[in-house]
Chains A and B, each alone.
Chain A
Amino acid sequence: MSARDEILGRVRAALKDSPQVPQVPRGYRATSALDEEALIELLVDRLVDYKAQVTVVDTAEVPTRIAALLAGAQSYVVPAGLDTGWLAGVEYEPADGRRHLDSADTPLTVAELDGIDAVVTGSAVAVAETGTIILDGSPSQGRRAISLVPDHHICVVKATDIAGILPEALRRIDGTRPLTMISGPSATSDIELERVEGVHGPRKLDVIIAR
């Protein structure tokens, strides 16, 4: 008998008492009633608690803000589908090799990514209550590797993409896409269960909330 059939056989035999399948009580909150300002305020509070840097700007100011954050970076990578307007404030000299474009068709190697200082991405949805930003690999966010290897992640969150609580956010996205849920810069609680920021993922997370 194959291992598969044998294990399924064991499981069926273990359930020979035919236990009842219970109705799942879903009395927990499925929606929150916060307005946009309150959502922004809550998200900022949570992200700051995780030691992320956050700024709230008008959409028109996003390019200036990105340019300011990239000022110290020798090089940066952006997904090919990023809103090009967002980079309008960054001085661009194709010859200086400072800007790198990445896509599934023309991916940078891991070694190349390792040599790049920063990454700029958009985001799919955010959760105010938990301070979580979800990337789903769509064109403005790119491959998972680009938001992982560079040490500085600059992430733009549109105010309209902020959900109050997790159930609201998960209902807005397609669970079969490659998803990364990000709540602050990388951290560990492995030494004496005290949280310290900065391990293998980006040690610096800058969030720009655009309204």
Chain B
Amino acid sequence: MSQTFLGMPSLPVFGTGNLHASESFPKAAHRELGNAQLRANLGHATHTIRDKRLQVVSELPDWEQLRDAGSAIKESVMARLPELLEQFEKNFTARGGVIHWARDADEANEIVAGLIRETGETEAVKVKSMATQEIGLNEYLEEQGITALETDLAELIVQLDHDKPSHILVPAIHKNRSQVRDIFLREMPGADPALTDDPAKLAAAARTHLRRKFLTAKVAVSGANFALADSGTLAVVESEGNGRMCLTLPETLITVMGIEKLLPTWQDLEVFMQLLPRSSTGERMNPYTSLWTGVTEGDGPQNMHLVLLDNGRSAALADEMGRSALHCIRCSACMNVCPVYERTGGHAYGSTYPGPIGAILSPLMTGIQAEENSSLPYASSLCGACYDACPVKINIPDILVHLRGVDVDSKRGKKKIPTQMDAGMKAASWALSSGKRLGLLEKGLPLGRLAAGPDKKITKLPGIAAGWTQSRDIPAPPPQSFRTWWANEHRGPDPEGGPMPSHNKGDQQ
């Protein structure tokens, strides 16, 4: 929502649009986990891509140096953002482009709709763009009587199926080939009834479906992967050629881009164009990348607009611990390796940005206070696979832990009375700080066995601990604790702090 400010804005100003879940992660995950087909599709796709990524990454002897460079470049972009934005604006404008600034989703939507209306058109072709997903542009345009046609194959599948994207690179990753065929047969006018589920045939069907649209479109809407401050150049990285169609054939091109996408110089592109394709589709290079610098006379769109979007990015930037989340180049490697994402899928995260990056980026952009996003930082086992895979070395586990802290603090601040979590933590600290107290508590273990019943499973814990048993059962506790067992086995030494029996000699094993 645009707000009217008198004087300086009160900070931070959070983002709006498709960044919120309508329900908490555990609830959504619980539902998605019940979908075995979804899990099979995701398991197959993420494993395929993991292997490919590992192989092409291992080919480069300087992969770690590239990651270091990428990380430092992005860090310097954030530190110099105001200056780089102004430099980019100057260069883009000098080459005949027009810059628009959008504080939030609503403002960006209004700008794009206004620009399309100015052309007199009621239809626009679109290249896959996270930023326009985030602001809900398609839905807004539809309300305004403008049809936005997605042209990326996966986006097309999602749009035809009236579904939502579940992955930032392959929005239809949750659909397998036969589901795609069914969607095409149902929703694509004139689809050949003999269409098979061969991916090549499905791609050909999409080609036929969109060809006329490309050739006659007057307006295109795109995102951008990179923007070079020192030249005003924009870049779109893609595979199918739908991007080239949209960026080349129409008369008017409207690009929507987050303010964090800048790179300082042309030279920086040599780093990111090595990092991105290998991390995203696991290819040495993606089939097509287009770069354009303003308007080129006689070649491509002659009306060039760029909407620079804040929508909560400045709020993320204001969080010193979390700001590196803005380094993200949307490669999707972190979700492809994430054990949580692999099981729940992208919809459970409730935001345009799912997976590990979404679990930090969404709350940073909307504020952790946003009720449904406050559960996202817990949607992780902190295994660290995302950090290892990230081409720009975003320390996602660290930021998750940081945001958990912010969440606990904000809840405490709100309620002013100790929460169940506070009480639990206090109790744990009391018990764990003394061996005697812990020993005493462990005597209660058999009670837990009783609670588990004959199937030796605890399916429902009380209070906030209920979250733990929402999507899993807990095995019954053992009849005795490890400490009791140890004491019995080794008699002599006192487990309450006496000398440990010497058991370190390798030859005893």
Contacts and interface: CB of A to CB of B under 8 A. Distances in A.
B319 to A, nearest CB: 8
Interface string B271-288: 101100100010111111
Interface stretch (A60-68, A84-92, A154-162, A196-204): A196-204
B489 interface: no
Contacts of A152: none
A55 interface: no
Interface stretch (B24-32, B75-83, B400-408): B75-83
B284 A176 contact: no
A23 B284 CA distance: 28
A200 B314 contact: no
Contact of A28 (B12, B204, B271, B308): B271
A191 B287 contact: no
Contacts, number: 280
Interface stretch (A33-41, A69-77, A127-135): A127-135
Contacts of B277: 130
A1 interface: yes
A4 B292 CA distance: 23
Contacts of B78: 15, 19
B285 A132 contact: yes
Interface residues of B, number: 105
Nearest to B71: A22
Given A2-B101, A3-B103, A145-B249, A15 B317 contact: yes
A114 to B, nearest CB: 6
A165 to B, nearest CB: 8
Contacts of B69: 24-28
Nearest to B48: A193
A104 B297 contact: yes
A187 B287 contact: yes
B38 interface: no
Interface in B54-76: 61-62, 65-66, 68-69, 72-73, 75-76
Interface in B168-198: 170, 172-173, 175-177, 180
A175 interface: yes
Given A27-B62, A167-B270, A7 B103 contact: yes
Q: Chain A interface mostly helix, strand, loop or mixed?
A: loop
A170 B233 CA distance: 14
Question: Which 8 pairs between the two chains have the least Cβ-Cβ distance?
Answer: A201-B241, A104-B298, A14-B318, A10-B314, A200-B241, A199-B240, A190-B154, A14-B317
23 contacts: A6-B5, A7-B101, A7-B103, A8-B85, A10-B9, A13-B9, A13-B314, A15-B317, A25-B65, A25-B69, A104-B297, A104-B299, A144-B248, A145-B299, A148-B249, A176-B232, A180-B290, A186-B240, A189-B239, A190-B153, A190-B170, A191-B202, A192-B199
Interface of B: 5, 8-9, 11-13, 41, 44-46, 48-49, 61-62, 65-66, 68-69, 72-73, 75-76, 78-82, 85-86, 95, 100-103, 107, 151-154, 157, 170, 172-173, 175-177, 180, 199-200, 202-204, 206-207, 210-211, 214-216, 228, 231-233, 239-242, 244-245, 248-249, 259, 266-267, 269-271, 273-274, 277, 281, 283-293, 296-300, 308, 310, 314-315, 317-318, 320, 323
